[in-house]
Amino acid sequence: MRSKENDIKEIIEGCKINDRRAQEFLYKEFYVSMAAVCTRYISNEQDAMQILNDGFLKIFRNIQSYNNAKAGIYTWMSRIMINTAIDFLRKRPIAFVSDFPSTEEETAVENTIMQKINADALLSLIRQLPSATQLVFNLYTVDGFNHREISKILKIDEGTSRWHISEGRRQLKKLIQSYQIKS
């Protein structure tokens, strides 16, 4: 009996020799998960789908450089999608805060509140954050980048990254509380 992991390895090898069926299989296999990555960063659905297709094009062009000893295929592909989304966002003006307004000490969002919200509702609330805060929040909270990595990727200070995380949490807490009242 063949494992899915072996099938994926064969598909990757097929993609490396530009086998169209292998490329189509890889696209179909990872379409939903990669689309989810794109929509975390790009709220406009049409732009997100453009990012998805551009990302897959980059994946197929660079599949020769994929090394399964360094990362799994999902991780490698999602990094390409994230970078493609960031490249797209760089072409648009995003206002990163450099002069930090004072904020009150925030408390963490309670786990009981978070458990009552489904993933789609939470994504919808995150999309309501200002674009710069949303971008940093997604990189840090969802995709696990640290502040140093975020500062290099976005060419901002680490302190700016930290501020956006704090501000994102503060605003998200308010949005969640408002969501709870409406529900």
DSSP string covering 25-75: HHHHHHHHHHHHHHHHH--SHHHHHHHHHHHHHHHHHHGGG--TTTS-HHH
CA atoms within 13 A on the CB side of 1: 2
pTM of the model as a whole? 0.76
pLDDT score, position 183: 58
pLDDT digits (tens, 9 = 90+) for 116-148: 577 778 888 888 898 899 999 999 998 999 999
pLDDT score, position 49: 96
User: In the chain, which stretches have pLDDT less than 50?
Assistant: 102-107
Q: Residue 119 contacts by C-beta under 8 Å, 6 or more apart in sequence?
A: none
Q: Residue 126's domain is classified under what CATH number?
A: 1.10.10.10
Q: What is the CA radius of gyration of the chain?
A: 19
pLDDT score, position 104: 44
| Structural domain includes residue 164 | yes
User: Are 50 and 44 within 8 A, CB to CB?
Assistant: no
DSSP 94-125: ----SSPPP-PPPPPPPHHHHHHS-HHHHHHH
Claim to verify: residue 153 and residue 79 sit in the same structural domain: no
pLDDT score, position 65: 95
Write out the H or E segment, with its range, that includes residue 139.
Answer: none
pLDDT score, position 63: 96
For residue 3, the one-letter residue type is: S
Q: Residue 21's domain is classified under what CATH number?
A: 1.10.1740.10
pLDDT score, position 38: 94
| Structural domain includes residue 47 | yes
User: Are 35 and 52 within 8 A, CB to CB?
Assistant: yes
Domain span including residue 22: 4-90
pLDDT digits (tens, 9 = 90+) for 68-79: 899 999 999 999
Q: How many domains does the chain have?
A: 2
User: Are 140 and 171 within 8 A, CB to CB?
Assistant: no
Q: Rounded to whole angstroms, what are the CA distances from 88 to 38, 71, 132?
A: 11, 24, 13
| Structural domain includes residue 104 | no
| Structural domain includes residue 38 | yes
| Structural domain includes residue 98 | no
Claim to verify: residue 80 and residue 137 sit in the same structural domain: no
